[in-house]
Amino acid sequence: MAALRRKFGEDYQVVNTNRATTFAAPVKKKRQRFVDKNGRCNVQHGNLGGESSRYLSDLFTTLVDLKWRWNLLIFTLTYTIAWLFMASMWWTIAYIRGDIHHGHDPSYTPCVANVYNFPSAFLFFIETEATIGYGYRYITEKCPEGIILFLFQSLMGSIVDAFLIGCMFIKMSQPKKRAETLMFSQDAVISQRDGKLCLMFRVGNLRNSHMVSAQIRCKLIKSRQTPEGEFLPLDQCELDVGFGTGADQLFLVSPLTICHEINPKSPFFDLSQRSLMNEQFEIVVILEGIVETTGMTCQARTSYTEDEVLWGHRFLPVMSLEEGFFRVDYSQFHSTFEVPTPPYSVKEHEEKNALPSPLSTPTHTLNESHGARRDRVFSVDCINTSEDRRGGAGGRLPSKLQRMSSSGKDDLQRKVLRLSSQHSEKACSTGDLPLKLQRLSSSQGPEMANRLELKALKVGFEPMTQSTGDLYEPSLTPTLSPAPVPVYSPLLSAGRRPEDNLPAKLRRMNADR
């Protein structure tokens, strides 16, 4: 048994050592809390050495910080010792003057009348200190030392009363008891709110009196090691609960849910549902405010360990609308219910969104392909005009080439018309032509209308059109491949008539008409 524990540690429990060596799941020890649920800090100061004398320099605060049993003991002992000491002083004066031996002599004038022994001296002191004054025991004028002691007794009695009664009053009026009527939820939850992963817990006020200027803060207590190798036990880190937006200033009339957004600045940025099981941390919540009835500052504290943080939960609502008022059901104050929550951390979620999708295609490749294929739009009559110009010089070509050129011209016209009917995006009519060309096309009939049918192809994303007036007269070369047709814009030929931009054949036709 001892060997197994030395090998596997104290966290493992042996189930059966006689048969197969099987071990149960590791039992997680109850970890030591830095702050209890009631707000008490589990910190003890030891080995102070000579620094203990500092407590006596602030004796009043030391007495107030003591527990009630020690305060009551000190209160009782202080008055008892003071009374006994002052009673012994009065008895000593009576003994030195001989009043004890002449107590019943009517002709003798004592320092204090009717003081014969220590009990009578004690009763005289109590009557004087409490200002009862029964009238049976009193100081005479023939005792100056008794008068001085009486003055000292009055001063010391006032000091002791002010110190002890003031200490007890501050002890009773401490706002720590007011903090017991401020509630915190037993567990904290992690779920989504407004599309963001948040750490949330709930606070409430059981009294009708308000907490003035209530403010809440959160500290993350977690041990860590710096990049330089320094180990920081119980390192404190601030958790943002709305300091920049003012959400940490609370109007604590009804239970409120405090929210910490988990973002790249949060220490829980890489916390997931699986890593939460292996983490060790403690969240300390501090609620401060001014008690409305006394004007004293009150502070309430609690803490949440990693076992008390529920992933994928949300608090049940506790507010309901009644007739004329709102009702808070504190029976559901600590209740939660499960909600759908992503199990991965915010860091993993952002890294997943940053990766490019395999289904998306880059748009610049499509733009390049469209840019590489720059098509121009030609009209059919432009082709015919060019061929007619070639026909004027066709006598200079062999007959075989002329037949090939005439047959190729018909095929090219059919292909252009077929492409224009399939891919055209914008229809061009004779309204785009100059006025004389429109009259010419209307006079020629359907044959000329077919020749003026335009073809519009896309160049990138913008369609381009050209009319017959936008083309130069092509230069003929005795080659089998058609020569490229240069593009001429009428906007560049400023100061010229539109008829000057037409080919020679069209100009002759206009002149004949």
The CATH number for 301's domain is 2.60.40.1400
The predicted pLDDT at position 103 comes to: 66
Residue recorded with tokens 């204090």: 112
Domain extent, residue 80, equals 55-174
The predicted pLDDT at position 358 comes to: 57
In a domain, 1, yes or no: no
In a domain, 41, yes or no: no
CA distance 411 to 107: 164
The predicted pLDDT at position 302 comes to: 95
The predicted pLDDT at position 361 comes to: 46
The DSSP secondary-structure symbol of 382 reads H
Widest CA span in the chain = 179
In a domain, 223, yes or no: yes
In sequence order, what DSSP letters do the residues of 234-247 get, joined into one string?
EEEEEE-SSTTTTT
In a domain, 458, yes or no: no
**How many domains are there within the chain?**
2
User: On the CB side of 50, how many CA atoms lie within 13 Å of its CA?
Assistant: 0
The predicted pLDDT at position 355 comes to: 80
Q: Each residue's pLDDT tens digit in the chain (513 positions)? A: 344 344 334 443 333 334 343 334 444 566 789 999 989 899 988 887 777 778 888 888 888 888 889 999 999 999 999 999 999 999 998 888 888 877 677 778 888 888 888 888 898 888 888 878 777 888 888 888 888 998 998 899 899 999 888 888 888 888 888 888 999 999 999 999 999 999 999 999 999 888 999 999 999 999 999 999 999 999 999 999 998 899 999 999 999 999 999 999 999 999 999 999 999 999 999 999 999 888 889 999 999 999 999 999 999 999 999 888 999 999 999 999 999 999 999 999 898 888 875 555 444 444 444 444 444 433 434 444 344 444 444 444 555 545 555 555 555 556 544 544 444 444 344 444 444 444 444 444 444 444 444 433 333 434 343 443 443 344 434 444 444 444 444 444 445 555 666 677 777 777 776
In a domain, 488, yes or no: no
CA distance 390 to 470: 19
In a domain, 123, yes or no: yes
The predicted pLDDT at position 453 comes to: 43
What is the separation of C-alpha 35 from the centre of its chain, rounded to a whole number of angstroms?
A: 24
The predicted pLDDT at position 265 comes to: 92
| Contact yes or no for 482/452 (Cβ under 8 A) | no
User: Could you say which of 158, 174, 190 is where a domain stops?
Assistant: 174
| Contact yes or no for 443/435 (Cβ under 8 A) | no
Give alpha helix (H) positions in 52-185.
54-57, 59-65, 68-97, 118-129, 144-172, 176-179
The DSSP secondary-structure symbol of 16 reads E
Reduced to 3 states (helix: H, G, I; strand: E, B; else coil), residue 206 is: coil
154 with 255, same domain: the answer is: no
230 with 304, same domain: the answer is: yes
In a domain, 59, yes or no: yes
143 with 94, same domain: the answer is: yes
Could you tell me if residue 512 is left (phi over 0), alpha (psi between -120 and 50 degrees) or otherwise beta?
A: alpha
Give alpha helix (H) positions in 173-301.
176-179, 273-276
Contacts (Cβ under 8 Å, ≥6 apart) of 6: none
89 with 135, same domain: the answer is: yes
In a domain, 509, yes or no: no
In sequence order, what DSSP letters do the residues of 83-110 get, joined into one string?
HHHHHHHHHHHHHHHTTTTTTT-TT---
Closest CA to 190 of 281, 126, 85, 123: 281
